[in-house]
Structure 1
Amino acid sequence: MEESSVIEVQEVEEQRHERNQNYRQNSFRKLAKVNSFDFEVEEATAQPRQSREDVDWATLFTLAFQSIGVVYGDIGTSPLYVLPGVFPDGVQHSDDILGVLSLIIYSLILVFLIKYVFIVLSANDNGDGGTFALYSLLCRYAKVSLIPNQQVEDKEVSNYQLDNVSNRRLRLAYGVKSFLENSYYAKQILFFITILGTSMVLGDGVLTPCISVLSAVGGLKEAKSSLSDNVIMWVSVLILILLFQVQRFGTHKVGSSFSPVLIVWFFFISGIGIYNFFTYDPTVIKALNPWYIIQYFQQRKKDAWISLGGVVLCLTGAEALFADLGHFNVRSIQISTCSLVFPSIILAYMGQGSYLRKHPMDAPNTFYASVPKPVYWPMFVVAVMAAVIASQSLISASFSIVQQSMALGCFPRVKIVHTSPKYDGQVYVPEINALLMLACVGVTLGFKNTLQMTNAYGIAVIFVFTLTSAFLMLVMIMIWKTNISLVLLYILTIGASELIFLSSLLFKFPQGGYFPLAFAAVFVIIMYVWNYGYRKNYTFELENKVSVQKIKEIASDPKISRLPGVALFYTELVQGISPIFTHYVSNVPALHSILVFVSIKTLPISKVPQEERFLFARVEPYNLSIFRCVVRYGYNDARKESESFEEMLVHHLKEFVEEDFRRVGRSISGRLDNNEEVTNHEDEVKREVEFLIQQVREGGVIYLFGENQVICSKESNFAKRFVIDNGYHWMRRCVRQPDEVFLVPRRRLLKVGMIYEV
């Protein structure tokens, strides 16, 4: 048995090696047809890749168990504050409870279960979710990105997963795709929706810890009524500060006990819900009839519409469920939702409704008032722990979102710390952690209680819902090619209900609803200014790139000295070389023996397989020893330390040299009958590889970075001057520099300065 297993492993490794070799050979063959410094050529066909969904049942149920502790903290703790948000002054009529319960039940079914669990999760980007995942998915199927994409070196990545549709019946999909690609304003709107949705999720990352912890700690007041709101507030602030201090240890350590705690929480709330249901008023089962929603609006009219702002809080965490998808898979989340989470939440709300039918004035403190006295303190402890877990899920999601935004050029450079050696998606961002902590403390001290906070929280939640629906409709039409009648059905049901929720919450704008919009506005401005400057910088380099002929002239100039060693000249361009290179040579007339122009490029996909990370080309003639290297990352890929990066780059460069010579050698052997020239060619391969190894050993690896300053031209208008010369310039000085992001050793770093006038 053991011997056969070894043989199987060896066969798998051989197949993988052969697959990688074929990939490299195909890549080199395609790129050899074109200019080595211009990779913009015809489309390549992506190779199939095993889906993350293809796992055995044991793994599937393990993932389902683990997902309980990471995904459902927010929506699982919503029974702490939903009914108090709907009835802040108590229940006026007992039948109102049936209408509100019916609203909660069908909102959970329609938005949480149908929309997110069974529709939105399918719109993932190679297993990753969130606003940027939807945007990157659209960018791969249509040329809507503001930064050039869909180039051959991108499409050869095996999980790029482009679809080539030829069905004539799908005119709507083609029409939408054509409109988005040809409309500058449509591209800008898509980008704005993306950064707005991202900013709103970051707003959730501030509000979720505040409202969850404050609601859970509020149970102390039920046990000891003499405690003031200020005491509850300061206890909550202390817990929040401790919560953010432990983030540096990483999600995998902080969350090691999440699943057992939340499973206990779900059993507690469902058990208490069943107890209250049979103890107080089992007739609340009538809330399953949606007719009570109509009656509720007929009787309460405007008050019923206003109360929707509290009802929507039962859906908090649905977007986090999508954003945290990358740690699990769709099927595992569907299993855990349907088997435990959804039934437990429904039972909890039914039990609270049953209790309120007999104690209508306890509505402002529904959760703890409905807990039976014998289990009060155990329930309080579990509630606080569950609230901390709920906070953790949104904080972790905020870190991931910032990482994705930064990788795609939409967020200023900050430090990304990968906290888990096993899961690349688990990251910690010190600057964002500090910002969120200060914002959480400020919000808690400012609002002091959950009443106004629920208004702010609801607007942040429903805005993200509506933006996700907007993207989802594009995915349905353009990618899934869904029947138009089903798209209209979605719009008229889920889309319409979300807009009604949004209208109710905007009515509460003066009562705290302004906060998430103000917070999001700040982040939208930061992200847009940074991306605008980033695009102007990229466009300038693209328009002023150095031609391959110019590179040859410089390298062949006898006045240019060649120094021992390997120089890595970093450039953000893929189609050409940055003009900083000629600026450098004009001031320092010396080049290293081996020159590699390196482009670090982030693709709109979550991960790039390790064997497909590096893509090389060379400048002929061979004796120049000048190469081009595109290093491709997905937005969730971890950046390696400089030493390991050097080792990998040199290793792949050596493989490229050998393969490139073999390709030329095969061409020679196919034209000649004698083997003399073939033998000479093989000797050249050995000399080239030995020369590479020798240069690394003697001169080492030197890093050359361009440090450019982007300024506006004299004819630019005031708005452009203000954004570039003030906003973008100030951000670039305040944030981490490229050499810090790429972990470049200072002792081997040389910076070259230049001014870009845009």
Structure 2
Amino acid sequence: MTASQAAATGAVPAASRLGPLTLAALGVVYGDIGTSPLYTVKECFGAATGLKPVPEDVLGILSLITWALVGVVTLKYVVLLMRADNRGEGGILALMALVSSSESIATRRRRLYIVLGIAGAALFYGDCILTPAVSVLSAIEGLKVTTSTFDHYIEPITVGVIVALFAIQRFGTGGVGAFFGPITALWFLCLLVLGLVEITHNPGVLQALNPVHGVDFFLRHGLIGFLALGAVVLAITGAEALYADMGHFGPRPIRLAWLALVLPSLMANYYGQGALILRDPAALENPFYLLVPSWGLYPMVALATMATVIASQAVISGAYSMAQQAALLGLTPRLRILHTSESAFGQIYVPAVNWLLMAGVVALVLEFKTSSALASAYGIAVTGTMLITTALAGALARAVWKWSWPQTIAVIGTFAIVDATLFSANLEKVPTGGWIPLALGAVVFITMWTWLRGREVVVRKEQDDALPLDLFLNRIEPGKLHRAPGTAVFMTSLQNEVPRSLLHNLKHNNVLHERVLLASVRVLDQPHVPDDERLVLHNVGKGLQRVVVQYGFMQTPDVPRDLAQLQERGLPWDAMRTSYFVGQSRFVPAAQTVLPRWQEKLFLLLSRSSSNAADFFQLPNNQVIELGGRIEV
């Protein structure tokens, strides 16, 4: 049983597997949030806030970081949201699919939830270009702590690491993935030890565990205290990964890793940095690396670089998975997806996403030059996604969990207030670079929404122009139509109509195969569909069968492989004597379009970039026949 299957069935991982799964979760789930100590405390006292390292403000900032980790990460994500699994899977699109599939939800409200899911996915991509840039750059900057020799080499080294990271993606991450967990575990242990050593010099810093210090900070600073939350939120970036990666490991290993190692290590390191600043205010230059003894600086830079590369790898892999999910759910054109492992599930590579991300990350490093400058743009996309996740969780609580209004308002409303406050505090970053993830998110949102709207128009057009299946069957008269030997599979999105490719074949070739399959691929609002539920078969008569091949939004379609199950259903199946007919429709502008003209032009442009349907469904190249047509949109 896989981790996702265990989560879907509510099974608890066996003790023998709990340890390895927990170690693996460290490397994949906690890379982003685990590297936050590199820059969070420094930015809380940076130029944006103007705060001085006086004792009351140090304790106030540490108290805010503490309760952000406890309230947002522990209570919201670890305790609450891990209950909101879509058959074991988590993440914004899984949550959207779970909420929108509820039968009790009205059509208009379902549409709203889809829009929210698209917005969350769009903001996720805005965050994807910032995480590798700020993480890797902040790690490499450790070379400047004791000498100025490397000052002019920070950017080139950072760009080199980032380019190498994206360049190796096509080879897959299976080989290095086994090292992610142990390296990240070593990283957290170093955070823990470094922090505890410094705390012993000033144990009074532990007073910050009292939330009164955070409240007092706000009362004393007012607007500045509010704006400081924009830096505090850096401590919880990556919290979405706990939820998004739940299907890979199950909730128990993720919770165990967080409570047993990650949270204690982060808290100890933040408090250690605070103690160091109280002892030596000049340490604000780089409090993380100044915790490290001089003899261990370069090894720590190397370890931090590996940790940030691992954090970036998790984000990149997440971007691939999000792209695959979006394409399967019909939110984007089909993308070219390559599988980098014959045995490991989910090991995919999406070239278009990879190179676009790399270009964006490198451009950010070259433009902003320092992690402090990048931090001024970081956080707005993360908090936006958190707020949307909370809104969808509220809808789930009402529609699926059947919570009462008072219960929903008390729990979800509290989290919504916190998320909205954090998001608002980050809005001041818009002029200094926060517009970049928002702009990228807006582009992704417009693209997804346009494709969704355009596909709806195309489907309606195809249905309006299509010949009903029962009428077509009535026209087939035995003896008057040549029936060629073998099987023909006509790929179609229609359910009760005849696909255009079949009509074109009849018109031009005047032939119908002995066995005809009208095959549709349906992606359900669940992550996985078991093999025994893959095919839904209907005999429509006269040698025609209608088959629906069902997939979850986390699965990769392989139509020939799954159609081979027909032999178990008693139908003749010879893979070598099967032809696949695919309609390659060309979309052209209509005289009276349903879409706004700008959206129509964008949809036509997107349709030209869509990957070939035969490749997407993994049809054998030498057995595919493509028949074209024109559809006005």
TM range (shorter): over 0.9
Question: Structure 1 residues 55 and 294 mapped into 2: Cα distance closer, same or farther (>3 Å)?
Answer: closer
The residue aligned with 2:171 is: 249
How far, CA to CA, are the matches of 1:141 and 1:192 in structure 2? 16
How far, CA to CA, are the matches of 2:562 and 2:96 in structure 1? 31
Q: Alpha-carbon deviations, 1:77-101, whole Å to 9, x = none?
A: 1000101211114625221000000
Name the amino acid aligned to 1:256: A
Shift of 1:428: 1.6
How far, CA to CA, are the matches of 1:221 and 1:538 in structure 2? 58
**1:79-478 equivalences in 2 (<5 Å):** 79-89=37-47, 91-142=52-103, 177=104, 180-183=105-108, 186-228=109-151, 230-279=152-201, 281-478=202-399
3-state DSSP of counterpart to 1:257: helix
Does residue 606 of structure 2 align to residue 752 of structure 1?
A: no
Name the amino acid aligned to 1:611: D
How far, CA to CA, are the matches of 2:557 and 2:525 in structure 1? 16
How far, CA to CA, are the matches of 1:536 and 1:507 in structure 2? 40
Report if the CA contact (8 A) 1:554-1:560 is conserved: no
Name the amino acid aligned to 1:741: F
How far, CA to CA, are the matches of 2:190 and 2:560 in structure 1? 53
Shift of 1:52: 5.5
How far, CA to CA, are the matches of 1:586 and 1:720 in structure 2? 35
The residue aligned with 1:653 is: 566
Name the amino acid aligned to 1:655: E
Does residue 35 of structure 2 align to residue 77 of structure 1?
A: yes
Unpaired runs of 5+ in structure 1?
Answer: 1-11, 13-47, 143-176, 659-688
Higher gyration radius (CA): 1
The residue aligned with 1:15 is: none
Q: TM-score, normalised by structure 1?
A: 0.79
Report if the CA contact (8 A) 2:8-2:89 is conserved: no
The residue aligned with 1:710 is: 587
2:459 to 531, 534, 538: 538
How far, CA to CA, are the matches of 1:435 and 1:527 in structure 2? 17
The residue aligned with 1:503 is: 424
Name the amino acid aligned to 1:99: G
**1:637-652 equivalences in 2 (<5 Å):** 637-640=555-558, 645-646=559-560, 648-650=562-564, 652=565
The residue aligned with 1:700 is: 577
3-state DSSP of counterpart to 2:484: strand
How far, CA to CA, are the matches of 1:408 and 1:251 in structure 2? 25
Q: Alpha-carbon deviations, 1:179-236, whole Å to 9, x = none?
A: x4142xx3333222111111111222211111110000000010312433x4211110
Report if the CA contact (8 A) 2:100-2:114 is conserved: no
How far, CA to CA, are the matches of 1:364 and 1:536 in structure 2? 57
Q: How many residues align?
A: 626
The residue aligned with 1:152 is: none
Question: Structure 1 residues 502 and 646 mapped into 2: Cα distance closer, same or farther (>3 Å)?
Answer: closer
Shift of 1:323: 1.2
Question: Structure 1 residues 510 and 195 mapped into 2: Cα distance closer, same or farther (>3 Å)?
Answer: same
Identity of aligned residues (%): 33
Name the amino acid aligned to 1:376: L
Name the amino acid aligned to 2:29: V
Range with greater deviation from structure 2 (264-273 or 133-142) = 133-142
The residue aligned with 1:163 is: none
Name the amino acid aligned to 1:496: I
How far, CA to CA, are the matches of 1:309 and 1:580 in structure 2? 55
Name the amino acid aligned to 2:624: L
Does residue 582 of structure 2 align to residue 729 of structure 1?
A: no
The residue aligned with 2:554 is: 636
Report if the CA contact (8 A) 2:469-2:496 is conserved: no
Shift of 1:712: 4.7
Q: Alpha-carbon deviations, 1:421-456, whole Å to 9, x = none?
A: 343223221111111111110111111112231132
Range with greater deviation from structure 2 (578-587 or 209-218) = 578-587
How far, CA to CA, are the matches of 1:344 and 1:577 in structure 2? 61
Range with greater deviation from structure 2 (578-587 or 76-85) = 578-587
1:67 to 25, 30, 51: 25
Name the amino acid aligned to 1:191: I
Shift of 1:477: 1.0
Q: Alpha-carbon deviations, 1:572-628, whole Å to 9, x = none?
A: 1234333443344233321111111111111111111112212211123xxx22111
3-state DSSP of counterpart to 2:584: strand
Report if the CA contact (8 A) 1:284-1:350 is conserved: yes
Shift of 1:647: 5.8
RMSD: 2.1
Unpaired runs of 5+ in structure 2?
Answer: none
Shift of 1:492: 4.4
How far, CA to CA, are the matches of 1:747 and 1:72 in structure 2? 45
Report if the CA contact (8 A) 1:600-1:632 is conserved: yes
Name the amino acid aligned to 2:121: T
Shift of 1:123: 0.5
Q: Alpha-carbon deviations, 1:55-79, whole Å to 9, x = none?
A: 3222223211211111100011100
The residue aligned with 1:566 is: 487
How far, CA to CA, are the matches of 1:638 and 1:221 in structure 2? 46
How far, CA to CA, are the matches of 1:303 and 1:54 in structure 2? 46
How far, CA to CA, are the matches of 1:647 and 1:98 in structure 2? 61
Shift of 1:252: 2.2
Name the amino acid aligned to 2:411: Y
Name the amino acid aligned to 1:103: L
Report if the CA contact (8 A) 1:598-1:630 is conserved: yes
3-state DSSP of counterpart to 2:399: helix
